[in-house]
Amino acid sequence: MAWIGVILNVIALLQSRRHGISLVGPVLGIIGSALFGFTAAMAFPALVVLIVATVFTMLQHPSKSYVQSHNSNLNNQ
Rounded CA gap, 12 and 9, in Å?
A: 5
DSSP structure class, residue 23: S
Q: Give this prediction's pTM.
A: 0.65
Domain boundaries, the chain: 2-76
Mean pLDDT rounded to a whole number for the chain: 83
Give the pLDDT band (50/70/90) at residue 26.
very high
Please report, for residues 9, 16, 42, the alpha-carbon distance to residue 4 in angstroms, rounded to integers and kept in the order given. Answer: 9, 18, 17
What is the C-alpha separation between 49 and 47, in angstroms, rounded? 5
